[in-house]
Chain A
Amino acid sequence: DADVTQTPRNRITKTGKRIMLECSQTKGHDRMYWYRQDPGLGLRLIYYSFDVKDINKGEISDGYSVSRQAQAKFSLSLESAIPNQTALYFCATSLRVADTQYFGPGTRLTVL
């Protein structure tokens, strides 16, 4: 079945470490997104990509970078992790702009 997968599912790291979260999809969608979710703050958009040549900042891109390696793969990096980046991170895909987004299972990241 077509799906959105994320690795790792859980990660504990230390302040200052570089971390990469990976997202893969088999839905054939061009559009991919990274969100973070914090208790009481809801889901917030970090970056999004229309295709491998297009990367766009979202609401909270500071401290993050992304790479769109292929249509099916979109990675999120924290170059130097800090404790306030502790959150639940979701990747999502959609077929068209302003269309339904389909979410991966999430990565729970803890920065000590």
Chain B
Amino acid sequence: QKEVEQNSGPLSVPEGAIASLNCTYSDRGSQSFFWYRQYSGKSPELIMSIYSNGDKEDGRFTAQLNKASQYVSLLIRDSQPSDSATYLCAGNSGGGADGLTFGKGTHLIIQP
């Protein structure tokens, strides 16, 4: 069973601080990883994608991938109250199959 694991939270972070979200995955065949943000009752919105080991930065967001440890993370710098949402980690299905395997999400709360 291919799994993506996340701590469900809630993770509470003061405004202006760094929020750190983590994810592990079981399928070594996964090549692509994604972080989606989802507000309650809304659809997932892509924040970052990462395909190679190392860091990828986009504005206040940095994604990190470590394939040897099967670990993906998302850092949010200068956290804002509007960042309060559920963050979904996802990896593609390896072995030629399609679709994404999602974690259950981490609920992030940014405290003003």
Q: Give chain A's interface residues, CB within 8 Å of chain B.
A: 31, 33, 40-45, 48, 50, 56, 58-59, 88, 90, 97-106, 108
Contacts and interface: CB of A to CB of B under 8 A. Distances in A.
Interface in B20-48: 31-32, 34, 41-46
Interface of B is mostly: loop
Contact of B43 (A33, A44, A56, A105): A105
Interface string B89-112: 010100001111111110000000
A106 B104 contact: no
Contacts of A44: 102
A90 B43 contact: yes
A40 B104 contact: yes
Contacts of B46: 100-102
Contacts, number: 54
Interface of B: 8, 31-32, 34, 41-46, 49, 88, 90, 92, 97-105
Nearest to A43: B102
B43 A106 contact: yes
14 contacts: A33-B98, A40-B104, A42-B88, A43-B100, A45-B101, A50-B98, A56-B98, A97-B92, A98-B31, A98-B32, A98-B92, A98-B98, A100-B49, A108-B41
Contacts of B92: 97-98
B32 A103 contact: no
Contacts of A106: 41-43
A90 B44 CA distance: 9
A42 B98 contact: no
Contacts of B104: 40-42
A42 B99 CA distance: 14
